[in-house]
């Protein structure tokens, strides 16, 4: 019997269900990574494929961040420039430098995906699941930068 459906559920008994419901949207959908690397390959081949796909999407991200920085640099308003830089350096503790932004994003992306994997109650495939998550997050950011 599910303890959360009992008449007097405790927070501790509901925690796994609450975590799963909260983190489910963070977990990557299999479709984007499946476009690049099929799960039917060997673990070594799939891992190699995912690492190559991640490197390629990271190169694309760096180019997109350079484009965004270039566009930001062309905005004629000094107020915008100051707000943009202050937001990046203050709130996000990164830099207006696209290479530094990409580096910071990769570090945070790895943490988020490792955390999502840790709480997903799955015991195998850490590297593959994490890499697929990283690929999905980077593609999501690229979609936002293309708008």
**Structural domain contains residue 7:** no
68-to-83, 137, 140 alpha-carbon distances in Å: 15, 18, 16
Give the mean pLDDT of 41-48. 84
**Structural domain contains residue 135:** yes
Cα-Cα-Cα-Cα torsion 112, 114, 116, 118, nearest 10 degrees, comes to -150
**Structural domain contains residue 57:** yes
Distance CA 131, CA 110 (A): 8
**Structural domain contains residue 58:** yes
**Structural domain contains residue 13:** no
Query: Could you count the other beta carbons within 10 Å of the beta carbon of residue 50?
Result: 21
The count of structural domains within the chain is 1
**Structural domain contains residue 65:** yes
Q: Are 113 and 133 in contact (CB under 8 A)?
A: yes
pLDDT higher for 14 or 93? 93
**pTM of structure:** 0.67
**Structural domain contains residue 1:** no
Q: Are 84 and 96 in contact (CB under 8 A)?
A: yes
**Structural domain contains residue 9:** no
Average pLDDT of the chain to the nearest whole number: 75
What is the residue range of 72's domain? 27-146
pLDDT higher for 24 or 52? 52
Give the mean pLDDT of 4-30. 45
Q: Is 143 helix (H, G, I), strand (E, B) or coil?
A: helix
């Amino acid at each position: 019997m599910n303890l959360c459906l009992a008449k007097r559920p405790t927070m501790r008994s509901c925690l796994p269900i609450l975590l799963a419901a909260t983190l489910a949207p963070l977990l990557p959908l299999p479709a984007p990574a499946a476009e690049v690397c099929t799960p039917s390959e060997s673990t070594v081949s799939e891992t190699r494929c995912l690492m190559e796909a991640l490197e390629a999407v990271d190169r694309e991200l760096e180019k997109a961040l350079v484009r965004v920085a270039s566009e930001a640099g062309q905005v004629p308003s000094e107020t915008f420039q100051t707000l943009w830089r202050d937001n990046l350096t203050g709130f996000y503790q990164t830099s207006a430098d696209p290479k530094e932004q990409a580096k910071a994003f990769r570090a945070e992306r790895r943490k988020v995906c490792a955390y999502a994997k840790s709480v997903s109650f799955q015991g195998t495939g850490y590297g593959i699941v994490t890499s697929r998550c990283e690929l999905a997050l980077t593609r999501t950011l690229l979609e936002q930068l293309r708008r």
